[in-house]
Amino acid sequence: MRSDSRVTFSVPAIRSAAMTQTSSKIGYDKISEGDEAPPLEVGPLTRTNFVRYAGASGDFNPMHHDDTIATQVGNPSVFGHGMLTAGLLARLLKDWFGPEALRKFQMRFSKQVWPGDTLTCTAKVTGKREAPSSDGQVEKLVDVECAVTNQDGTEVLTGTATASLS
């Protein structure tokens, strides 16, 4: 079992320049292919973070909070919810584009996230396009490639997202 004897009861420590005001979101004309979001670093994650997410999401799979059960089936310890990692990455996208911008979010959970991991969320613009929207208007869409890596540089989540900007 991995040891993380250090116990913190705070929300994940945030070391990111991109903070949270909707007014800071970027416009379609200001963004170019190859632009990168300011990375969002979160961690080290603790079991408390997993338990907090279990309560918030209603996902009580014991693999994420019960070390006894998690180790009995061969895991070194409990591990984080995939959708917790996805939620942290979505935060980065929201900080960048605003909460209303996200249209599509695809993710692959490639490695498990363990207590003690520090995650870095990144995103990069891969394309811009205009497409007709459902209400007959033209929607200005930005496609991004995004990833979450752990402290060893291993990708734990890779994904793509599409955001609608004005």
Q: Give the residue with the Cβ less far from other proteins, 87 or 127.
A: 87
Peptide bond into 39 cis (omega under 30): no
Q: Give the residue with the Cβ less far from other proteins, 56 or 131.
A: 56
Name the phi and psi angles at 137, rounded to 5.
-85, 175
Pinpoint the alpha helices (H) of the chain. Answer: 47-57, 67-72, 82-97
Which of the residues 15 through 74 are near other proteins (CB under 8 A)? 19-22, 42, 49, 52-53, 55-61, 63, 71-74
Among 31, 37, 90, 119, binds other proteins (CB under 8 A): 90
Find out whether 78 and 70 touch, Cβ atoms under 8 Å.
yes
Smallest distance from the beta carbon of 166 to other proteins, in angstroms?
Answer: 9
Give the integer Cα–Cα distance in Å for 55 and 158. 25
Q: Give the residue with the Cβ less far from other proteins, 32 or 151.
A: 151
- Residue 45 has which token pair? 């994650």
Among 4, 44, 109, 118, binds other proteins (CB under 8 A): 109
Give the integer Cα–Cα distance in Å for 162 and 11. 28
Using CB under 8 A as the criterion, which residues of the chain lie in contact with other proteins when the complex forms? 11-12, 14, 19-22, 42, 49, 52-53, 55-61, 63, 71-74, 81-84, 86-88, 90-91, 94, 98-100, 102-109, 112, 134
